[in-house]
Structure 1
Amino acid sequence: MNNEKIQKILSSNGYGSRRKIEKMIIKKKIYINNKLVKIGQRININKKMKILINKKKIILSNNINKKLILAYYKKIGEICTKYDNKNRITIYDKLPIIKNVNWISVGRLDINSCGIILFTNDGELAYRLMHPKYKIKREYIVRVFGKINNNLLNKLCTGIKINNKINKFKKICYISGFGLNKWFKITILEGRNKEIRKMFHYINLKVNYLIRISYGLIRLKNILLKVGKFKNLGLKYYNLLKKSVNY
């Protein structure tokens, strides 16, 4: 950790991607020994150094090379935030507490959805896995209520403009169901906020069940993960995920 850029040091310790840290520096959110940090600033870390992010003191790990990747099976009703002023259950409440490890969630699921969420202490890996540039595939099983036909299904794949952005599914496949409730498998390459629900709502359909069954090469059925539990995926999967985003 000698004479490294502050972005690299903080990212390696799980405080976000280098780009996110740069944004925090621009917004004057990071101080070292009561002095504002500059982008690209190189520092030598020592025990007496006082580092503040958003006015909170942080502790850097002595072993920044130990990278971890977890998979968690989120329950319906849990929220994807570290802190909640309503004291609701968060996904972070279920994760292992490891000294000097700051978990970063890879993507989010809304309170009414369930399924796989990845966590890592590698800020750069988390950033790449979420960025549209790397086209990481996410797969979902959804139950939809309402009248639907092939024309509407095609519209979901060709694109729908929502909030001045084109949203579209990479793929949608009918699974089962008759009448007004039907099951589909959906593949997307981005993770915009409530994207799937919003797209169905746009064509007057309601998603009444949604589960994410895979994120990239990590699939629920392959890692045998139970609801409300986490699993340390180990170095093998960590390296495979790095490779998938050219990291």
Structure 2
Amino acid sequence: MQDRLQKILARAGVASRRAAERLIEAGRVRVNGKVISELGARADAHLDRVELDGKRIVAESPVYVLMHKPRAVMSTLDDPEGRPTVAEILQDLPLRLYPVGRLDYQTSGALLLTNDGDFTARMLHPRHHVPKTYLVKVQGDMSADDVAKWRDGVKLEDGITLPTEVIVTRREAGHTWFELILREGRNQQIRRMGEETGFPVIRLTRTAFAAI
């Protein structure tokens, strides 16, 4: 069955569909030896030879893996500083998977990986507001007003955060634990919210991604 080239590339995990379109327009894709630069071009991933930069693209069935990323492990596939990565944990898998977004080095918890570029693009696009749930431990005793500030939005350098759901789960010895549901994905957002409101984050674990 024929599909658009950008869909074939995205399904193979090469890139998101939009990124695949740019690869096609740049003349980096060939079908049966012929350079294709038109976005409407179609091919059969099983019958035609589709190449990117001279390397054949092999049709793969979409694969989705949910793993628990430990603390002190990078969520990327490689690290220039030589720190441990999730690729090392998954090295025995027979195919190459790519993380759907990232988790900070010191954050543990749910991390999705896949070879489905379209799925990744949908999960990460800001307009979809995909929920991500975290268990957070902060230093300090949060009052009802403090919790309301987190719920309503915290002013950061890159703007006010979207409203969140915050449920305090327990308090102990000058610390507060709570569940937090985010629908956006700024860099180190929760840790920055903690610093801005005077409640430094001590521990952070993502317990669910898109309700998974």
What TM-score bracket applies, with the shorter chain setting the length?
Answer: 0.7 to 0.9
Q: Are the structure 2 counterparts of residues 14 and 206 from structure 1 closer, same or farther at C-alpha, using a change threshold of 3 Å? A: same
Displacement of 1:21 after TM fit?
2.5
TM-score, normalisation: structure 2: 0.84
DSSP-derived class of the 1:177 partner: strand
* 1:148-179 CA-partner distances (Å, limit 9, x unpaired): 32222111111123233321352111111234
Structure 1 distance, partners of 2:109, 2:193, is: 19
- Structure 1 outlier segments of 4+, above 3 Å: 22-26, 32-39, 43-47
Structure 2 distance, partners of 1:25, 1:88, is: 34
Q: Which residue among 88, 100, 105 is the counterpart of 1:106?
A: 100
Q: Are the structure 2 counterparts of residues 23 and 112 from structure 1 closer, same or farther at C-alpha, using a change threshold of 3 Å? A: farther
Displacement of 1:214 after TM fit?
0.9
Over aligned residue pairs, what C-alpha RMSD do you find?
2.5
DSSP-derived class of the 2:56 partner: coil
Q: How many residues align?
A: 206
1:156–1:168 CA contact under 8 A, matched in 2: no
Q: Which residue among 203, 208, 212 is the counterpart of 1:209?
A: 203
DSSP-derived class of the 2:28 partner: strand
1:14–1:122 CA contact under 8 A, matched in 2: yes
DSSP-derived class of the 1:133 partner: helix
Q: Are the structure 2 counterparts of residues 152 and 25 from structure 1 closer, same or farther at C-alpha, using a change threshold of 3 Å? A: farther
Residues 165-176 of structure 1 aligned to structure 2 (within 5 Å): 165-176=159-170
* 1:80-115 CA-partner distances (Å, limit 9, x unpaired): 1112122221112222432xx441212211000100
Q: Are the structure 2 counterparts of residues 31 and 105 from structure 1 closer, same or farther at C-alpha, using a change threshold of 3 Å? A: same
1:18–1:124 CA contact under 8 A, matched in 2: yes
* 1:7-63 CA-partner distances (Å, limit 9, x unpaired): 11110101122123335556x4x613699763615254644x6422xxxx543224x
Q: Which has the higher contact order (CA 8 A, sep 6+)?
A: 1
Q: Does 1:88 align with 2:83?
A: yes
Structure 2 distance, partners of 1:72, 1:50, is: 31
Q: Are the structure 2 counterparts of residues 37 and 163 from structure 1 closer, same or farther at C-alpha, using a change threshold of 3 Å? A: farther
Structure 1 distance, partners of 2:24, 2:160, is: 31
Bigger shift: residues 75-84 or 12-21 = 12-21
Q: Which ranges of structure 2 fall in alignment gaps of 5 or more residues?
A: none
1:79–1:110 CA contact under 8 A, matched in 2: yes
2:73 corresponds to: 78
The letter for the 1-side match of 2:52 is I
Q: Which ranges of structure 1 fall in alignment gaps of 5 or more residues?
A: 219-247
Q: Are the structure 2 counterparts of residues 159 and 60 from structure 1 closer, same or farther at C-alpha, using a change threshold of 3 Å? A: same
1:156 corresponds to: 150
The letter for the 1-side match of 2:93 is I
